[in-house]
Amino acid sequence: MALPALVVEAGDPFMASEIVSEMVKQLRALDTYDTYEGWPEEKIIDPLVMTKERKREMPIIGDPDELTLARVKAYYNAIASLIEKKSGLMAVPVINITHEGFGRAFILAGKLIIVDKVLRDIHRFGFPSLEDMAEKTEKIIDKAIGLIEQYREVAEA
C-alpha cells in the first residue's frame, strides 16, 4: 500500500505563519511517544490540510479517532496561546466532543468567553490550505482580542 502524498510542500510561505508554527509546537507537545521525532514540520502539519480529494476519500458520517481529537485540541491550544501572547492574559481552551464527533470549543480569558465554536463532523477536521487556516485563525484571534479590549474587567476577573 502506497503512502499518501503530502499536500504541504517544503517552502510553503504559510509554514512561517504564527498559527502553523504554534500548531507544530502544540502537536509536538502532545506527541508523548516521539512519533514526530525527526519529521519535517510539513509532514507534521500536513494532516490538517483537508483538500477536496482527501475529503472525498472520507466517509460523510464517522467517529473521530484519537489523532484527530488531538489535532482539534492542539488547534484550540494554539489559538489560546496566540491570544495570550497578544493580550497578556491567560487564555484557556475548553473542548467537549462526543464520540460521534460533535461538540463545542470555548476559549476563556478570566470569566469572559472570547471564542465559542460549535464543532461538527470532527472526523473531517482540517482546512483547504495553510493559507485558509492562517486567515480563519487570524480572524478568530482578532475578534477575541477585540472582546478582551471591550470587556477587559471581565477578562481579568
Per-residue pLDDT reduced to its tens digit, 7-44: 887 788 899 999 999 999 999 999 888 889 999 999 99
pLDDT at position 1: 37
Domain 14-155: CATH architecture, name and number where available: Orthogonal Bundle (1.10)
Nearest to 107 by CA among 70, 147, 50, 59: 147
Cell 497578556 belongs to which residue?
Answer: 88
| Residue 130 neighbours by CB distance under 10 Å | 25
| Residue 143 neighbours by CB distance under 10 Å | 12
Query: Would you say 15 and 8 are in contact if contact means Cβ atoms under 8 Å apart?
Result: yes
What are the domain boundaries of the chain? 14-155
Encode burial over 2-24: b for 16+ CB neighbours within 10 A, e otherwise: eeeeebbeeebebbebbbbebbb
pLDDT at position 4: 63
**Threshold 0.75, pTM exceeds:** yes
Query: Would you say 80 and 155 are in contact if contact means Cβ atoms under 8 Å apart?
Result: no
- Each of the 157 residues of the chain gets a pLDDT tens digit; together they read 344 678 887 788 899 999 999 999 999 999 888 889 999 999 999 999 998 888 888 888 888 889 999 999 999 999 999 999 999 999 999 999 999 989 999 999 999 999 999 999 999 999 999 999 999 999 999 999 999 999 999 999 8
Strand partners, 94: 106
